[in-house]
Amino acid sequence: MISFRPGLNALLARLGRSAPDLASRAEITEVEPGGVQTVPPAICLPGMMERMRSTEFAEPPQVLKHFAGGFDAPQPPTLSLRLKDVDLADGVLYAAGAARHMRPRSHRRPWYGSLPDLGRGTMYETWVGNSYFGNWLAEDCLTAILAERMADSPIVTTRPQPQGHMIDYQARLGMTPRHVTEGHFDELTLLEDHSAHAALQARAAEQRRRLIDGVDASPHPGVFILRGTSGSLRALADERQIAERLAHARGLTIVDVRQDDAATIIAVCAGARVAVGVEGSHLAHALVSMPPGAGLLTIHPPDRVTGGLKLMTDRRFQHYGILIGTGTAEHFAVEEDELLATFDIMAEAA
């Protein structure tokens, strides 16, 4: 079939009439109940938050509130959104005058010819998970476990075929989605799963169980996960030298996500009491493999502080620590004494 929905959507956007989200056109069913989560405080040295100059993904007051913790946060239920007559084109879903972007677009066309018939499908993915590896591993993969249990139609994803670490993670988690780039669904189910309720926490435990199956998860001091210059720039001066000093002083193992395979990283992280590294998606390797009670110590430049990983550790009952350096994201530094002191607090809590 030919779909003019992408072109119509683009025209409406130019006229200032952006299409509503697909949720406004869906038959919505609650599949897991919500709840309340008590947000714990982040672990840091006195005065650390005063170094923060700017934040990413949320305004400073929101980030500071979440770092301070000590409040109850309502958690929405997990929902199933069922839609009929849905087109998928260039990472965007269209139905009944509504739309939702599932991944960054690659190109633009006003219409699509001969969209393949995809029948029925269930999607577990999100735009943010398709944009950042850490969100895919720590969040979308949890929703995939739910889809595996409840889907009454084939599980599909708009992601390209997995590469690198994703291949091993999908295999360990038993994920076998059908990868689709465009097409027409007679019926499509989307899962809204942005919460930290008890059922999601149980799925996080199941994810870890699958990942560390057959791995020696005996406790050990911890791991330093090198970031280097991968992803959005956060260049920690002398990163490897800092990691080596921490390894010597506190017995940490060093892994490099640019060189080590997923099996190696999982094996090291499975029993780590504390994982350390520059804030970023690569730290998700640790938090999905570490047990509850372990700690994640994140190092930030002062002009790019974000609390995204704290949301993930909170729902896994893990401690979250933060050290803010000096400089800028292009080149920042940390004091070794401050890093060791923060690590020791984390280790004591773990």
Q: How confident is the model at residue 350 (pLDDT cuts 50, 70, 90)?
A: confident
Q: Which residue has the higher pLDDT, 144 or 9?
A: 144
- Compute the mean pLDDT over every residue in the chain, rounded to the nearest whole number: 92
CATH node for 60-71+217-349: 3.40.50
Per-residue confidence (pLDDT) for residue 151, from 0 to 100: 93
Q: Which residue has the higher pLDDT, 324 or 91?
A: 324
Query: Is residue 109 predicted with pLDDT exceeding 60?
Result: no
Per-residue confidence (pLDDT) for residue 90, from 0 to 100: 86
Per-residue confidence (pLDDT) for residue 113, from 0 to 100: 65
Q: How confident is the model at residue 12 (pLDDT cuts 50, 70, 90)?
A: very low
Closest CA to 4 of 115, 143, 101, 131: 115
199-236 per-position pLDDT tens digit:
999 999 999 999 999 999 999 999 999 986 666 667 89
Per-residue confidence (pLDDT) for residue 1, from 0 to 100: 54
Could you give the count of Cα atoms lying within 13 Å of 26 in the half-sphere of its Cβ? 23
The full set of domain ranges for the chain reads: 5-30+77-209, 60-71+217-349
Q: What is the mean pLDDT of residues 27-56?
A: 96
The span from the CA of 139 to the CA of 128, in Å, is 10
Q: What is the mean pLDDT of residues 317-335?
A: 96
The span from the CA of 133 to the CA of 141, in Å, is 11
Strand-pairing partners, residue 255, are: 225
What angle separates helix 165-173 from helix 141-150, to the nearest 10 degrees? 30
Q: How confident is the model at residue 15 (pLDDT cuts 50, 70, 90)?
A: very low
Cβ atoms < 10 Å from Cβ of 153: 18
SS (H, E, C) the chain: CCECHHHHHHHHHHCCCCCCEHHHHCEEEEEECCEEEEECCCECCCCHHHHCCCECCCCHHHHHHHHHCCEEEEECCEEEEEEEEEEEECCEEEECCEEEECCCCCCCCCCECCCCEEEEEEECCCHHHHHCHHHHHHHHHHHHHHHHHHCCCCEEECCCCCCCHHHHHHHHHCCCCEECCCEEEEEEEEEECCCCCHHHHHHHHHHHHHHCCCCCCCCEEEEEEECCCCCCCCCECCHHHHHHHHHHHHCCEEEECCCCCHHHHHHHHCCEEEEEEECCHHHHHHHCCCCCCCEEEEEECCCCECCHHHHHHHHCCCEEEEEECEEECCEEECCHHHHHHHHHHHHHHC
Q: Which residue has the higher pLDDT, 229 or 68?
A: 68
The span from the CA of 162 to the CA of 175, in Å, is 11
The span from the CA of 334 to the CA of 238, in Å, is 9
The span from the CA of 272 to the CA of 173, in Å, is 21
Q: What is the mean pLDDT of residues 123-139?
A: 95
Could you give the count of Cα atoms lying within 13 Å of 315 in the half-sphere of its Cβ? 27
139-168 per-position pLDDT tens digit:
999 999 999 999 999 999 999 888 999 999
- Least trusted range by pLDDT, from 6-20, 98-112, 254-268: 6-20
Q: What is the mean pLDDT of residues 276-296?
A: 97
Give this prediction's pTM. 0.91
